[in-house]
Structure 1
Amino acid sequence: MKNTTYIFRIKCPDAYGIVAKVSTSLNDMDIFITDSSFFSDPSTKSYFMRLKIFSSKGEIEFSNFSNAFNEACSDLKMEWTLENEASSPNTLVFVSKYGHCLQDLLYKNSIDSLRMNVCGIVSNHENLKTISDNYSIPFFYIKNKFRNKR
């Protein structure tokens, strides 16, 4: 039996012990973390997590998960989403002059590390059109009307 994997995204006020509390609560529900990324934004004092998870019991029943997780982590004042990893949301990517982030997103998407249906790329610079052409993704150039911007 292949386990269904889910993407679990969390945003909350930054504090000590977030990773420990989240991983402990998931472990208590027999949920395994197979991949994780997280960062703190000092300017907004916010903490962000993205986890790839699966349950040893098969499908995760949303209401049971929600009740157990909210009870375990209520003091962290989290906003979170849980979605089946197989879903591919429609995505419009906005980029500026440099292509390193765009390249990273498109590469991860091409190897199914980051699932999304890229509907188009929007930029105020034309130099990234070749990247969109290489991936057969529509490119939309929005001319910058402010002449003092570089």
Structure 2
Amino acid sequence: MSTGPLTPSAKVPANPQEGGSFILTLDCNESPGIVHAVAQYLLDHGCYIVDIKQFGDQLVRHFFMRVHFIAGVGGPSPEDLRQEFAPVAQQWGMNWRLEPQVRKERIMVMVSKFGHCLNDLLFRARTGELPVEIVAVVSNHETHRDLVDWHGIPFHHIPVTPETKPAAEAELLTLVEEYKVELVVLARYMQVLSDNLTSVLSGRAINIHHSFLPSFKGAKPYHQAYDRGVKTVGATAHYVNAELDEGPIIAQQVIDVDHTFSPADLVAVGKDAECKALTNAVRWHAEGRIILSGNRTVVLR
């Protein structure tokens, strides 16, 4: 949508890359005039709104917004846009982020023995389907080294035992800093992170749990589902916090099953749901579509 006529000096580029395509994500206390303030700022800077998503949560009186916009040819740089938007954000008490649309999120994938989610992420990142750069893969097993090496990505084997866990997590944080990791993705990484590590990675770590949370938490959820005779199995991608499988939910997928499915059958069909839920969560995070709101998420799609 357009907010109105462009300023005379602005020109919408035929190719968005000529002028620069950006994503602005924000949230703040609800108040009249927020949308107008953002649209006026963009208009004043010769920017064209391509897509806008917004949500006002009436229960908590909080406002969420994501704007995809294009700067005119020869328009301001990302740094200029951020600097000049800062007073608007301060006036309305906004939490906000402004990034180029083409920017790729730097992610580190962690995995144990099950490699289906890792393989899916590697493929989608390699083909450009996901706007991410997988800068490293960490595992407590050597199982997937050859696969990761084939993709030309650094593989780090960090074994974990109760005695070595503090040192292993310290090594992990060193890698996060070394590779300038922006998002850690637990792609069936079957180790429980410490409270200290989850605190450091708050809002920057996504886990895939192989059940439709809040049902069947913890170990062997497909076996728990079989024991209960479920008619659907699912997977849940969520941000990691100190409570096991309790973090804010981002994406979920379900698959219909029936009484003929054994626990092994449920594990097999559930892999598709896991890959899809995790892919969606990583994509939406990288595209700036997720805003945390307490123990919930707002996903502006």
Settle same-fold status: TM greater than 0.5.
yes
Q: Secondary structure at the match of 1:130?
A: helix
**Which runs of 5 or more structure 1 residues have no equivalent in the other structure?**
93-109, 138-150
CA 9–131 in structure 1, closer or farther in 2 if over 3 Å, else same:
same
The change in CA–CA distance for 1:28 and 1:91 in structure 2 (over 3 A counts) is: farther
2:273 counterpart letter in structure 1: I
One-letter amino acid of the counterpart of residue 122, structure 1: I
Aligned to 2:54: 38
Matched, 1:122 2:208: yes
Greater per-residue strand proportion: 1
Once the two structures are TM-superposed, the CA of residue 72 in structure 1 deviates from its matched residue by 4.0
Q: Work out the CA distance in 1 between the residues paired with 2:68 and 2:275.
A: 30
Cα distance, 1:130 vs structure 2: 1.8
Aligned residues: 119
Other-structure match for 1:62:
78
Q: Percent identity?
A: 19
SS of corresponding position for 1:43: coil
The whole-number CA distance in structure 1 between the counterparts of 2:273 and 2:100 is: 29
TM-align CA RMSD: 3.4
| Residue 49 (structure 1) shift | 0.7
Q: Does residue 131 of the first structure (1) align with residue 278 of the second (2)?
A: no
TM-score by length of 1: 0.61
Give 1:20's match in structure 2, choosing from 23, 26, 36. 36
* Cα shift readout 1:41-69 (whole Å, capped 9, x = no counterpart): 23332211111111103464234223322
In the superposition, the TM-score normalised over structure 2's length comes to 0.33
Q: Could you list the per-position Cα deviations for residues 93-146 of structure 1 after superposition, in whole angstroms to 9, with x for gaps in the alignment?
A: xxxxxxxxxxxxxxxxx996x845795361251534223457996xxxxxxxxx
SS at match of 2:19: coil
CA contact (8 A) 1:91 1:116 kept: no
Q: Which has the larger radius of gyration?
A: 2
Higher relative contact order, chain-length normalized (CA < 8 Å, sep 6+)? 1
